[in-house]
Amino acid sequence: MPFSERAAAVRKQNKGHVLYWGGRKSDKLVRSYEKEEVNRYRVELELHSQLLRREKISTLDDFEGLIDAIYPRHIQFVDVAWDRLKRHLRRKRHGRALIAGAQHRAASLSRLRRYLRRHGISNFNRFLLPLAINKKIDRAITTFFLDFKDMP
Amino acid sequence: MHAVTVKIDRVQLVSWAPQGRTPPRVKGFQVTRDSFVRSQTTIPTYERCRHYESKENDAKIYWQYWRQKAWLKAWKITMVADDSTGLSYDEIDAVLRHCKFWHFLTIEVAIDFSHSTGVNRDFVRRHAVFGKSRRRA
């Protein structure tokens, strides 16, 4: 197989495995994928100059400011408070169908949010509960940026 | 080994430089290539790019210079980290000490989750919220 075809095949293969949020022209772009080189699942936050300016990150010593800038504003893991959501949906017309539709889309938070908004449920955030893993993320980010200057 | 680890994965910045100044030697890095860069789009940007590789790990620097438009900064520098270690303070500082009136364009922070945390593609789709950013199809 010629190089160009091989490269295209790899690109196509990777395209399905990487998830993207945001965009190149917005203030951040998020990629998530399996990083085989380190045998871990990686979430990459690409912070653009617009966001860096807003958070006043302009020198190397300002990197400490990323602790508050990143978590919880730009990364968080949440779960849907199904009891609360169901209680809310039951009061609506076609409540049961709405609940079934929501449960059908539970595998993707984006799809679920879009579905509920289409049916007139705004402010989806009130049905979200933070997960325990957020504490580990917060601790990892804080430790890393506090020790960043002294790291070998 | 921690369940969640954080690294600086990539840093991109632009800097002022005196006219015609070529990229300097960088402490801890060696020059591996210095080549002409053909215009990638209809607008030509930088004519040349110097590649550096770390002497200690797999970190790389791409130093673009000889701007083709007056509104561009003289240097555009991209630092790419080694996959396992990330970029260190010293590595970034080694570049910044040669720059003047610079500012960051991009800082990429990588958060790695070990498999024991249960974070994978399905978990991220089901549970992740990244501020107001929406998922791209």
Tens of each residue's pLDDT in chain B, 137 residues: 789 999 999 999 999 999 889 999 999 999 999 999 998 889 999 999 999 999 999 999 999 999 999 999 999 999 999 999 999 999 999 999 999 999 999 999 999 999 999 999 999 999 999 999 989 87
pLDDT band at residue A56 using 50, 70 and 90 as cut-offs: very high
- Is the minimum CB–CB distance between B80 and chain A shorter than 8 Å? no
pLDDT of amino acid B40 = 85
B contact test, residue of A17, A38, A51 with most B CBs within 10 A: A38
pLDDT of amino acid A12 = 58
The span from the CA of B126 to the CA of B129, in Å, is 9
Of B8, B89, B133, the CB nearest to A30: B133
Beta bridge partners of B123: none
Q: Inspect the interface and report whether the beta carbons of B120 and A108 lie closer than 8 Å.
A: no
Range 28-57 of A in CB contact (< 8 A) with B? 28-30, 32-35, 37-49, 52, 57
Residue in the structure block whose two tokens are 């990197």? A63
pTM tops 0.80, yes or no:
yes
pLDDT beyond 60 at A99: yes
pLDDT beyond 90 at A11: no
What is the ipTM for the molecules in this complex?
0.92
